[in-house]
């Protein structure tokens, strides 16, 4: 039996984390955990999200209820997937690689700095008490956890160049002429390490985000891992919830140690260049169940 490759964290983490488990059978489903821990089926999304925006006629209903993976109806229309199903599929899948990447980076940074891991665990212990299940409402009370996520986005943005932009007309920006139809890439990785904005930019210091109040939702241009303006990533709200819930669940429910008596300072934080910023060496860590 072939073992799954640890060089592909986007495949391993969704299987490991119960908070982002996909069940594939021709009909994707997602479990998110906490207050979001309800089974979200395509049928629910279609009839409860799409319906208020556009009435379904008889033909639309017939086309949009093809969810059973082995149904005759699905086989009849296998070459013509409804646009709603395609839209939701793209919405969820597009965020899996980037979400798993940022959680892996956050865990690696915390394992390299055990004192910050302990600080995050202490905060979650205070917020949650004996409750092992992290709720969405707990995240707003976990300020240090939020700072950890922000600092991770600063150091290791999952999409280091965002997505290309194109100038629709000639425009001058900060004294530079950008000609019409020029394609632009925004290097948010470099912005997060700009010494004029971030003191000691290469150090993992979540405390700095507790002090300056910077958010990554597109209003503070020092930190825009999701972009900004009208072209901001539409997956930001979902990613924001999932990353915090996943990381909080891992930090709160387990104690962690590195394998083979590895020292924290020996943990490799090298990056692998690509559209999504992964660790060059996949993270290996041993979870110990907290009693």
Bind-site residues for heme: 233
Instruction: Report the binding-site residues.
Output: 233
CA distance 10 to 81: 25
CA distance 142 to 1: 42
CA distance 231 to 270: 30
| Contact predicate 27/68, CB 8 Å | yes
CA distance 203 to 190: 14
- Tokens at 35, concatenated: 């207050």
Alpha-helix residue ranges (DSSP H) falling in the chain? 9-16, 42-45, 58-63, 72-76, 83-112, 114-128, 136-139, 143-155, 188-191, 207-212, 236-253
């Amino acid at each position: 039996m072939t073992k799954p490759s640890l060089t592909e964290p986007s495949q391993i983490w969704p299987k490991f984390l119960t908070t982002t488990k996909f069940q594939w059978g021709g009909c994707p489903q997602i479990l998110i955990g906490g207050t979001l821990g309800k089974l979200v089926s395509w049928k629910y999304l279609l009839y409860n999200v799409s319906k208020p925006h556009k009435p379904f006629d008889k033909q639309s209903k017939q086309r949009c209820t093809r969810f059973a993976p082995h149904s005759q109806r699905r086989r009849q229309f296998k070459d013509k997937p409804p646009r709603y199903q395609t839209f939701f599929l793209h919405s969820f899948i597009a965020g899996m690689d980037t979400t798993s990447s940022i959680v892996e980076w956050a865990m690696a940074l915390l394992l390299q700095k055990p004192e910050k891991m302990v600080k995050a665990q202490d905060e979650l212990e205070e917020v949650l008490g004996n409750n092992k299940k992290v709720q969405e409402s707990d995240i707003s009370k976990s300020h240090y956890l939020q700072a950890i996520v922000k600092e991770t986005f600063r150091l290791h943005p999952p999409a280091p160049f965002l997505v290309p932009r194109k100038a629709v007309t000639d425009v001058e920006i900060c004294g530079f002429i950008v000609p019409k139809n020029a394609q632009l890439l925004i290097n948010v990785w470099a912005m997060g390490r700009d010494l004029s904005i971030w003191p000691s930019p290469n150090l993992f210091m979540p405390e700095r985000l507790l002090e300056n109040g910077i958010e990554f939702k597109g209003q503070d241009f020092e930190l825009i891992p999701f972009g900004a303006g009208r072209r901001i990533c539409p997956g930001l709200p979902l990613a924001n919830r999932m990353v915090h819930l996943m990381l909080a669940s891992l930090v709160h429910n387990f104690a962690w140690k590195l394998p083979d008596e590895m020292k924290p300072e020996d943990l490799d934080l090298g990056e692998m260049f690509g559209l999504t910023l992964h660790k060059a060496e996949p993270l290996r860590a041993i979870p110990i169940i907290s009693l």
